[in-house]
Amino acid sequence: MTTLDHSYVEKGSWKPDLFKDKVVFVTGGAGTICKVQTEALVLLGANAAVIGRNEKKTKDAAADIAKLRPGAKVIGIGNVDVREVQDLAGAVKQTVDELGKIDFVIAGAAGNFLADFNHLSTKAFKAVVSIDLLGSFNTVKACFEQLKKNKGAIIFVSATLHYYGVPFQSHVGAAKAGVDALSNALAVELGPLGIRSNCIAPGMIDGTEGMARLTPPGSDPLQTRVPLQRLGTTRDIADSTVYLFSPAADYVTGTVSVNDGGAWHMGNFTGNLYPKVIIQQLSDPVSKL
């Protein structure tokens, strides 16, 4: 996993203090991708609220991020379930009380696991859709007054799974398709208020939990099927985040920034899973409702 340090500012593409006096509210901020997104913004001058369910993990992540820049204010707010809008409303209030405002929102809380349709219960399907899609809606809903007041910007962390059929990922694909649709609708509705809404769709990002879970067993090195011939890094996602929140993207809204090295053009990566393994799973008589 890529973790950022001061070289991101000293040797990177972005000018120091790009986000001075800005505040970002990040759900899933202790996760692999969202933590590095937050690190980049804090290194470039922002203060941040890291939101998560696991209180210790969330507070530890916030403390780590705060060390990156002298004077940075980064708070960790745990015990927040994005499926409960009142939890998020409380986190927004604490953020405004402690950091003064919210300019940027990253809706990054997500759930995922491998499950074929036969073994995917309705409860499990609902859980993923509720975290990924309803949680994204709730996040923006809770932050709306601050976004309106500060002419803020939103980034939803999406995926490329729904660009084609990916076995064992029907729940996540459906949820992320909804996230894209939500972002597009908000771009149109909230644009007159000065609020921008965009998605970032990571592809295969090296060192992430998702990558470890979703790599087909026994497959060829996946980077050989990526046009740019490498796996992505969390820094790639961080750079897209910085761009979309920066003044350089002031006229960019309603877009999906696909960060996958062109891999989605190559079709899905099921490899030797299809169709033998899938038929085997679907033939299993045990099916959970």
**Residue 5 covered by a domain:** no
| DSSP letter (8 states) at residue 49 | E
- pLDDT value of residue 211: 67
**Residue 156 covered by a domain:** yes
Which residues lie below 8 Å from residue 117, measured CB to CB, with a gap of 6+?
Answer: 170, 282
Catalytic residues: 158, 176
**Residue 289 covered by a domain:** no
Residue 248's domain comprises 16-283
Q: How far apart are CA 97 and CA 67, in angstroms?
A: 21
Other CB atoms closer than 10 Å to residue 25's CB: what's the count? Answer: 31
**Residue 3 covered by a domain:** no
Alpha helix stretches (DSSP H) within the chain: 7-10, 32-43, 55-66, 85-99, 122-129, 135-150, 170-190, 209-214, 234-245, 276-283
- pLDDT value of residue 220: 64
- pLDDT value of residue 279: 80
C-alpha R_g of the chain: 19
Residue with tokens 């204010």: 73
Total count of domains within the chain:
1
Which residues lie below 8 Å from residue 139, measured CB to CB, with a gap of 6+?
Answer: 25, 27, 82, 88, 105, 107, 109
Residues of the chain predicted below pLDDT 50: none
**Residue 253 covered by a domain:** yes
Residue 245: which CATH number? 3.40.50.720
Alpha-carbon distances, residue 92 vs 50, 72, 82, 158 (angstroms): 11, 19, 12, 22
- pLDDT value of residue 215: 63
Q: How far apart are CA 133 and CA 117, in angstroms?
A: 19
What is the per-residue DSSP string for 67-95? TTSTT--EEEE-S--TT-HHHHHHHHHHH
Which residues lie below 8 Å from residue 118, measured CB to CB, with a gap of 6+?
Answer: 281, 282, 284, 286, 287
Residues 170-226 pLDDT 10s: 999 999 999 999 999 999 999 999 999 999 999 999 878 666 665 655 556 778 889
**Residue 4 covered by a domain:** no
- pLDDT value of residue 9: 85
- pLDDT value of residue 1: 59
**Angle between helix 135-150 and 170-190 (nearest 10):** 20
Q: How far apart are CA 44 and CA 23, in angstroms?
A: 11
**Residue 10 covered by a domain:** no
Q: Where are the beta strands (DSSP E) in 192-274?
A: 196-202, 256-259
**Residue 56 covered by a domain:** yes
Q: How far apart are CA 277 and CA 281, in angstroms?
A: 6
- pLDDT value of residue 34: 97
Bridge partners (DSSP) listed for residue 185: none
